[in-house]
Amino acid sequence: MNFDNYLSYLSQSFRDIKADEIDAMIDHIFNAFEKQKMIFVIGNGGSAANASHFAQDLAKGTKTKNDNSKRIRALSLTDNLAFISALGNDEGYESIFEQQLKTFASEGDLLIAISGSGNSPNIIKAIEWGNGNGLTTIGITGFDGGLLHKTNKLSIHIPLNDMCTVESIHSIILHYAVIELKKKMEKEQNIHHETISGKH
């Protein structure tokens, strides 16, 4: 496959994405922002890199010009290396996200799990814990979606049997979400400023 063929393949793959799934995720993140709930992002391997990047973009990339305005509170649970290595060593790798959620999460928070296969045991355990403890759970998957696609409360599914391209598409979707969220946040900030200004 040459690069032109790959571009055609990539373009066709995008046609299988359901825009309403992405819009629903954006709405859930914005709702968490408005209520100042935490957003946790998890993943393994390339999906761990996407999780780390997305959490950083949510927390920093959406910051508006008004530095005193509220912000999206997002953390990637893939980044706490000391905690992850301790949990993996003492309790097993499948516990590394679930146990961090037990430490940091509260009812009403949002959990976003990124997994190409949708079958990683540590992802499934975290989603099951989130479902049972009042978190909104979102799964971002590829291939047939695996168990994650059946377990989470909201899905963004890329029906493609190609891990590299699935992870690339995930990254593009997550960047799009950040762009749209920043627009929504700036709009809300402008409305709030106009409302306050109109009172004087």
CATH code of the domain containing 27: 3.40.50.10490
How does pLDDT run across 145-166, given as a tens digit for each residue?
A: 999 999 999 999 999 999 999 9
pLDDT for res 75: 97
pLDDT in tens, 167-194: 999 999 999 999 999 999 988 877 655 5
Six-digit token pair at 11? Answer: 């373009």
* DSSP three-state, residue 62: coil
Structure tokens at 143: 């291939």
Amino acid identity for residue 10 in this structure: L
Kindly list the strands in the beta sheet with 73-76, ordered across the sheet, starting from the edge strand earlier in the chain. Answer: 73-76, 38-43, 110-115, 136-141, 154-157
What distances in angstroms separate CA 91 from CA 21, 37, 83, 118, 125, one per listed residue?
A: 35, 28, 11, 22, 13
pTM for this predicted structure:
0.94
Structural domain harbouring 93: 3-198
10 Å CB burial of residue 16 (0-12, 13-18, 19+) is: exposed
> pLDDT for 83-131, tens place per residue?
999 999 999 999 999 999 999 999 999 999 999 999 999 999 999 999 9
The count of domains in the chain is: 1
Mean of the per-residue pLDDT values for the chain?
94
Q: Is 72 exposed, middle or buried (0-12, 13-18, 19+ CB in 10 A)?
A: buried
Q: Residue range 24-48: average pLDDT?
A: 97
